[in-house]
Every structure is written in structure tokens, then in C-alpha cells.
Amino acid sequence: MKILAWRLPVACILLSLGLAICGCASNAQKQLEHEPLTVLRNPQRPLREREIAADAAWKQAQRSPEDKAAVRATFKEMIWSASLAPSLRVQLYRCLAEDSDPESIEDIRRQTRLMIPREPSREMELILCQTAAAKGWTDCVPALIRSYSRRVPLVKDQDRAERIALIQLSGGTPLVETVFAIFLNPPDEDPDSPAEFRERTRADAYDVLGKLDTSGAYRKRLLEDPSLASDDDSIVQLLRRGVTQLKVIPISGEELRWLERLADPKNARDSAWWTEVQGIVATMPPEKLDGLQMRHLESVRVASVYHPDLFAKDRAGLLSDMKTAIGGRKTVQRSNEAQGLVKAAKEQVEVWENGLSWGDLLSIAILDRAVRQKDFIERIFVYVGLDREDRTTEYGGLILTTQNVGDGRAVIENPGKIVAWLFPPRPGQRPNDTEFVAPEEMILSSDRALAHFHFHVHRARNSEVAGPSAGDLEYAARCGRNCLVFTSLGTDELDVDYYQPNGVVVDLGTIEQK
């Protein structure tokens, strides 16, 4: 009897709980059936319930124009939300994209065009790109170009959904031609697009051209066509002026902005530099002009004026000298390969020698000679000390002649002396002690620089990262610059690695503080 008396209350409790659970389940089911939008909007409800609610809401939307308008408005709003589960956003988007109503089709087409350029979710970006391509929405081409200009970690450019969609929408026209056409004549501003829409589209299109036309040869060929025109003819004239006078064409969007600054007639020092370099390259034979890029021009000027022995050498002579010099030095290969899709680049000149142009070799020779000067070494170790004391960021800056430091007025003698100029990052641009974010004032001061540099010195012994990271290589490619990274091997020893936009890395050996 005692056992039965004990079990009876328990049974009653369980029965009550069961009824309550059944009641809750019943209420939830009723809400799914009768108020699916309420369930869909509720972030506290399980994802699966919200997905079921989305299907139920879409079915109910077909009952009347009013219901459909309410459901569409909710779906559109939720699709914009990056905090929503990507799978649910894709589900809602598919419902809208598969609607046959002409007004609805135009509405989702416009939303697709606006979402593509900055959509953070790759799952969502995939469906946006696939839909635009499948439906032949050519007005999405500029948006796809803008999105394709972004760097996406762990996804190869040739596998990007944006690229595949652009090829489909190009209708047999080579992709580089499609992108160049948008660069020349970006579309008029969409009323709902951000400010400076045309300028952003043009800049992003040029960045994509840098991916498709890595040498600039295709763009050079197009610029030879006298009928080539643009809504803004000044951009065509600028590019033609660069090709005819300086024998170079900017590869990336950052290089295009660099060329624009150099061509600004209001900057007397840049104008004088342009005239000087124009005269020098006009005397150079074709074999030295082969592969010449913007990043080589200051090295050409400095060598012509201050290092005529280097300027006089041909490619074979520069390469032979470099092999001999580096062959007798201590070098350290980067071993840390945490670089996304790529392994740590090989740093031996022999690995890269067939792809090094005369301009590359001259730039390396100038920089190698500079970093071994006593004054340069003393100054660079002062900067190393500042970097080591600051645990919030890496440090970096520019390598240039003294006449190009600041306003140049401080130069009394030896204007061709090559020095390092430090640019500590801004307070809001210090993510951690192993990353350097170049401040804007550094970029704007680098028009006549030989190279950009930064440090890997957060530890005294840092040999595993002796060389550029994937992010460093991406920076060089985006900015179109020659770069150096100085890595700490000990308290008084640095390894020096040169790298450039196409991924070439050459270990120049070590320097020591005496």
C-alpha cells in the first residue's frame, strides 16, 4: 500500500506534465499553421520551426494580394539580415526569386543587384550569383564585378561564384573585355546605391582587371586603339599618357590611384619627378623596358642618377651579381605555412630567376645595397626597438631617398641617400602585435618611394615567420609595390626578405647591429 500511495502522486504529476507538453506542442503547431509569420520572425524559435513557418507563410501568401504583400515585405527584410542563418535567408530568397509575378520579379532583381557587392555570406552570395546568371540579369554585371574585386579567404579566384556568373552573363565576350567596358563606362548611379557609386564601380572594375590581366598587356593593346572612348575621357588619356611617357600601365586599382596622384598638375614635386623619369625611360632599350611596371620607376631614376654602375648592367649582369652576393650570405626560409591556400613561398633567387625582369632585378639591387649601409642599419634597429616596446601592433613604413622624405626641405646634401621612414599605425588600426595596417598618410607619402616595409619582430627569435605572410603578399599585389620585411632572428640580427606583387620572394640575407 505504501508503494501504491507513493506512485499515485508521481503518476498524476507525469500525467499533468504530459498534458501540458501536449498542450504546448498543440499550441505551437496551431501557431505554425495560423501565424507562420509570427513564428518566422521570432529568433527564439528553433531554426527548423522557422523554416517550416517560411514554407507555410509562402503558401498562405497565395491566397490574396494583401497576404502576398505582407509576406513579401517580411521575406525581403529578413533576407537583408546578415545575422540570420544563411540557410533560412537562402530559403526566403528562393521563394521570392521563383515568383512568376512580373512586378515581384523586378523587385527581387533590384534587391539582388543591391545585395551582391557586399554580401558577407558565401552561401547567400552563391544563390545571388546563380540566380542572376540563370535569369540573364545583365544589369547585375557591375555588382558582380564589385563583389569579385573583394578578397575571399580560402576560395580561389577561378572558383568564385561571381566569376562564373560574369562569364555566363558575358555571352561569349571575353571576361576581360566585359570588365574593361564597365571600367570605361560605369553605369549611372542607382538611387538606392551608396554615394560615389560610379567611382567605386570603376575602381573595383580596375581591381578585377588586375586579376584577369596581370601584366597589363591586354589593357595596353586596347589603349592603342584611337577609337577607344570613355564617359570620362580623362581616364583614358591618363592611361595613355602613362603608357607613352612612362612606358607603364597600372595593374591594380591602387596603382591607378597612384598614377592619378603622380599626374596631378597641382603637385609640383610629382610633376618634376614625372618629367625626369620620362626622360630616363626614353633612353632605355627594349630589353630593359620589357616588363617595366610603376613600382620600378623610382628604382630606375635612383639608379640612373646615383648608381650608374647598376643602371648600366643588363638583366644577365644584375642576376649574376645577385646570385653571387646572396650565395655567400646567411638566409632563413620561412617555416610557418599558416597562409590560407598557399604554402610559404620559396625564397631562393634560383626559384624565381626566369620570371624576374630587368626592373625587378634593378629594384632588388638598389634595395640590397641600401639596407647594408651603416646609417640605414642603425636607423632600422631604432625602429625595431620601438616596435618591440609597442605590443599593440607591428610597425612599418617607406624606403626612399632623403629628397622624398616629407616636403624635402630638410635635405642639405646627399639627396640620393636611401633611408627608412617610419609610419606607426593610427590608434584605431592596431589589431594585434603581429599585423601592420599601413596608415593613409603612409600611402599618400609613397608616390616616389622605392619600397614599403614592415617588421616581424614581436619576438626576439622569430625565424619561423622570416618572410612575408599570405596577407603581406596580398598587400603587395593590391598596392602594386616592392616590399621588404625585416624579421628578428636574435636581439641584434634581422633577416631581410624582398617580395613583389606576383608572389616572388627573395631572401636577401641578414643584417646585424654592431
**378: pLDDT strictly greater than 60:** yes
**Helix, strand, coil % in the chain, rounded to nearest 5:** 60, 10, 35
Alpha carbons 324 and 327: distance in angstroms, whole number: 5
Where do the domains of the chain lie?
1-34, 35-223, 311-512
**21: pLDDT strictly greater than 50:** no
What are 313-355's pLDDT values in tens digits? 999 999 999 999 998 888 888 876 554 444 556 667 788 888 8
Averaged pLDDT score across all residues of the chain: 88
Q: Tell me the mean pLDDT in the region 382-404.
A: 93
* Pick from 71-80, 140-149, 150-159, 201-210: least confident: 150-159
pLDDT computed for residue 338 by the predictor? 55
Taking the CB of residue 175, how many other CB atoms lie within 10 A of it? 18
pLDDT computed for residue 30 by the predictor? 63
> What does the DSSP 8-state code read for residue 492?
T
Alpha carbons 472 and 326: distance in angstroms, whole number: 23
Q: In the beta sheet, which residues pair with residue 505?
A: 499
In sequence order, the 6+-apart residues with CB closer than 8 A to the CB of 36 are 52, 53, 54, 56, 57, 60
pLDDT computed for residue 381 by the predictor? 96
Output phi, psi for 115, to 5 deg.
-80, -35
Q: Tell me the mean pLDDT in the region 4-24.
A: 44
Length of the chain: 514
Amino acid (one-letter) located at 130: Q
Phi-psi region of 340 (alpha: psi -120 to 50; beta: other; left: phi over 0): left
Burial string for 265-297 (b: 16+ CB within 10 Å, else e) reads eeeeebeebbeebeebbeebeeebeebbbbbbb
The Cα-based distances of 112 to 79, 245, 266 in angstroms read 10, 43, 42
